[in-house]
Amino acid sequence: MERRLVGAIDGDDVAFALIKDAGTGTDGPRIEEVRRSPTTAFPTFTDALQDYIRAHGLSTESIRFGLAVAGVSRGDVITLPNCRWFVSVSGLRAFLRSDPLILNDFAATAWALPNVGSSQLVRIGSRPVAPPRERGTYLIVGTGSGLGMAILSIGRDGNVVVIESEGGHASFAPQNADEDALLATLRRRFGHVSFERLLSRTGLENLYDALAAEASRPAAAPSPSSRIIAAAISGTDPLAVRAGRLYAGILGAFVGNQVLTAGAWDGVFLVEPMLGEMVQILASGPFRSQLAGKGRMARQLEAVPTAWLDSRSANLAGAAAALAAS
């Protein structure tokens, strides 16, 4: 009997699960036997996969496999940020004797979106938001070690299409004098300044350091970025407060750009723990105003719902949904 197996690599951890059944209605495929391990526990990804297969008494001759990776999923050799592993697609094909399905982690989250519950959503702004179950185009954006995004389109017949994107590497475009000064500072340091350079975890630290340099004083809030976020929320450090507001506005401008590009009028879902930590900052800061601040398109953008999604285990669930649809 054919078994379906899914995996996810996010840099520090690797996870595997078996698909129990295809699911019904909006439930999607159900997964079981989830196992998570640090990537340091195995020399290679293939070693980790083989260990899971052996532990569950499976045969490689009867497995279909889907894998979500934190990185670009194109090509035969897939490198992984913040991880010494790489994934060889041809090597997996030879090992499993079937074609593996490899997808970006944000694309996997997009595949999981139609099956999430309303309790997993935290609304940002005044527009009501719900899990995407019906026809529409939606945007998924998340930050952490990088800045990722994907587009989800649900057709009239319920057909799901997911488009991967590396839009986080697009060039940062300042929208006001503060951002002009920020770009000048960071360009001297990095050369090309992408949105990812500003909106990842290290991006928030870059923002804070640039503001400290502008104020001609040493940075008071040490890394990691979580401390900057905490100081911004508590109001104990004026530079952290300013960095948080600047971050919220730049994220809003980036999201607005991507909504216009993708036609994602039906909803934006922010994912990853960092943005969950920042929900209060996003809700009270210029996130929504800069998202909609696009001149003649402002009214249309003001109508776009935005929410943070608790996306734990979404990579595995999304890989399962993509594998079931393939």
At 54-97, the pLDDT tens digits run 999 988 877 899 999 988 888 899 888 778 899 999 999 999 98
* pLDDT on residue 270: 97
* pLDDT on residue 72: 83
Where are the domains positioned within the chain? 3-105+317-325, 167-309
Per-residue burial over 221-246, b = 16 or more CB atoms within 10 Å of its CB, e = otherwise:
beeebeebbebbbeeebebbbbbbbb
* pLDDT on residue 223: 67
* pLDDT on residue 300: 97
Which tops the pLDDT comparison, 326 or 69? 69
Evaluate whether 251 touches 292 at the Cβ level (below 8 Å): no
Kindly give, in sequence order, each residue whose CB lies less than 8 Å from that of residue 188, ignoring residues fewer than 6 positions away: none
Evaluate if pTM is beyond 0.85: yes
Percent of the chain exceeding pLDDT 90 equals 69
pLDDT digits (tens, 9 = 90+) for 176-195: 999 999 999 999 999 999 99
25 pLDDT above the threshold of 50? no
Cis, peptide link before residue 224, omega less than 30° from 0: yes
* pLDDT on residue 222: 54
> CATH classification of 3-105+317-325 is 3.20.20.70, yes or no?
no
Kindly give, in sequence order, each residue whose CB lies less than 8 Å from that of residue 30, ignoring residues fewer than 6 positions away: 19, 20, 21, 23
Rounded CA-CA distance 291/105 in Å is: 24
CATH code assigned to 167-309: 3.40.367.20
Mean pLDDT over each residue of the chain, to the nearest integer: 90
Evaluate whether 120 touches 309 at the Cβ level (below 8 Å): yes
Which tops the pLDDT comparison, 302 or 116? 302
Residue pointed to by tokens 């595997």: 16
pLDDT digits (tens, 9 = 90+) for 205-244: 999 988 888 887 665 555 688 899 999 999 999 999 999 9
Evaluate whether 146 touches 200 at the Cβ level (below 8 Å): yes
Which amino acid would we find at residue 5? L
143 pLDDT above the threshold of 70? yes
Sign of CA dihedral 253, 256, 257, 258: positive
**Which tokens go with 169?**
């590497």
**Which tokens go with 220?**
């008071």
